Homo-oligomer: A and B are copies of this chain.
């Protein structure tokens, strides 16, 4: 008979210090860092054997009302036409349908060039690409539906993100992924494509914006791992609105041509050290950067984490800019 429904709790917390320097050459004072979150994971199973579930963080239910990261984003529990950070799925023999704050097919298929963790995600610099540049863009709200299906080491996925109001265009994506092992090496390849009929309202109007990306990753039993990530953009512009930032630098209405990212890491015993580099080629000069981390696993869910990131903007329209941040402390998973 059907599995009992459940709501499970997990949590995370961080304490430490952070600091750095902004792009305007202003010191970020060395100061305390504290963060906390709680996740509600719900799961069930129908009489017919379909599994279903949903997930929401305690801070997602209210959205970015009180945010340091954006405007008045709607909460997960409040506006049903927006996901607000929740994900919901149904899964069976014929694949999995996920709706909400989930990856578009390109992001789902590809590995981002990032290894390790830091309290303030300091190793995610201006040249870092999380593969989601075409998700939640073009005036869309990031509420995505994705269907994916796996057979052997292969997985394929398709995704859609639709306009809530008249005007604008929907975003569609398709992705494929292969995961395998060769001796003591585990490897994965990802290929993804996303497109929107709009091109973010850039003055240089015209054809639709798109992204075609490829990633390759491998990890060896010896502790070495590496990720390569490349994306070619076509007619993808940042918003022309004054003050629009890209990679943490003010860069309205610039065209993003392509991105390349690499990450390497080495784990020995409880220690993981890793570095990553990424570069966006834009119509207004390169936005690039690198990140460094060292993570020491204390066991039981706790780890010491040090992170550093530096970002550079070869600003074609003015003086070159750079910024950097660091953090150090203890991260806890419950």
Contacts and interface: CB of A to CB of B under 8 A. Distances in A.
Nearest to A83: B34
A222 interface: no
Nearest to A2: B300
A100 B54 contact: no
A14 B56 CA distance: 13
Of listed A44, A86, A163, A164, residue having the most chain B CB within 10 A: A44
Contact of A88 (B14, B52, B62): B14
A1 to B, nearest CB: 8
B36 A56 contact: yes
A2 B80 CA distance: 42
B15 A100 contact: yes
Contacts of A32: 81, 83, 99, 143, 145, 162
Nearest to A86: B36
Within the oligomer, what is the number of copies of this chain?
Answer: 3
Contacts of A9: 7, 9, 40
Given A90-B330, A164-B29, A334-B43, A77 B59 contact: yes
Contacts of A120: 80
Contact of A332 (B59, B88, B332): B88
Interface string A292-321: 000000111110000000000000000000
A31 interface: yes
Contacts of A10: 7
Contacts of A3: 300
Interface string A53-73: 110111101110111110010
Contacts of A37: 61, 77
Nearest to A54: B13
A123 to B, nearest CB: 15
Interface string A14-34: 110010000000110111111
Contacts of A40: 9, 11, 38, 58
Contacts of A69: 78
Contacts of A82: 34
A240 interface: no
Nearest to A162: B31
A302 B81 CA distance: 21
A299 B59 contact: no
